[in-house]
Amino acid sequence: MKRNILIHPDPRLKKLCEPVPDLSDDLRVLADDMLETMYDAPGIGLAAPQIGILSRLIVLDCAKSDNGEEARPLVMFNPRVLASSDERNVYEEGCLSIPDQYADVERPKLVDVEWMDANGNAQREEFDGLWATCVQHEIDHLDGKLFIDYLKPLKRQLITRKMVKFKRDRARG
Ligand code: K1U
Ligand code: ZN
């Protein structure tokens, strides 16, 4: 089932999310719903707080389908960055909770991440390129951090004002 994506500003997008203690069928359904919501948006990642669930769960798939790459949906419970490279990368980021706004963000180029998959197995992998950018962006969501928090205050305020107007216009219909 597709879920509604919260739009910034929303207090739920600023909260620290709670670890997932044990897997359950409800959590697997939630992860499937998040993948469906992400693909439908369309997006390359989604974090549980973006649909109002304050648990440490993210999904992502940065495979480039236009390059003939096969889909690679990843479901990560309690993802954690174990190490990141000194080398950094700049990518023009977007966010499904901040529609139509993009800005350059600098982050570590490589990250070593551990997580629990939907079968309850521990996983560990080093990510590079867009995968590394996206997994860091999604883990930030679990810590109540948005990509605009990396921008200068003036630019952040400008984007926030645009989003307040977007939500007001949308509510008016
Ligand atoms: O977390 C989110 O809001 C999802 C976000 C992830 C992300 C994008 C870019 C850099 C870092 C993280 C998005 O998916 S925004 C939409 C987007 O980037 C996209 C949509 C369709 C095709 C390709 C990209
Ligand atoms: Zn986002």
Burial class (CB in 10 A: 0-12, 13-18, 19+), 117: middle
**C-alpha dihedral sign at 59, 62, 66, 71:** negative
pTM value is 0.98
Question: What are the catalytic residues?
Answer: 138
| pLDDT recorded at residue 119 | 97
| pLDDT recorded at residue 66 | 84
* Residue 46 β-bridge partners: 59
Q: Which of 76, 88, 80 is nearest to 30 (CA)?
A: 76
Percentage of residues in the chain having pLDDT higher than 90: 97
In eight-state DSSP terms, residue 149 is G
| pLDDT recorded at residue 173 | 85
Given pLDDT bands bounded at 50, 70 and 90, which one contains residue 154? very high
Mutate to test the pocket of ligand 1, among 44, 106, 140 (most ligand atoms within 8 A of CB): 44
* Alpha helix ranges (H) inside the chain: 25-40, 129-142, 153-172
Across the chain, mean pLDDT equals: 97
| Distance of alpha carbon 3 from alpha carbon 99, whole angstroms | 16
- What is the tens place of the pLDDT at every residue in 63-122? 988 888 999 999 999 999 999 999 999 999 999 999 999 999 999 999 999 999 999 999
**C-alpha dihedral sign at 155, 105, 140, 85:** negative
| pLDDT recorded at residue 15 | 98
Ligand 1 neighbours, Cβ below 6 Å, are 42-47, 91, 93-97, 133-134, 137-138
- What is the tens place of the pLDDT at every residue in 124-145? 999 999 999 999 999 999 999 9
Mutate to test the pocket of ligand 1, among 95, 100, 146 (most ligand atoms within 8 A of CB): 95
Distance 98 CA to ligand 2 centre (A): 7
Pick the atom of ligand 1 nearest to 97's CA.
Answer: 3
CB neighbours of residue 37 within 10 Å: 20
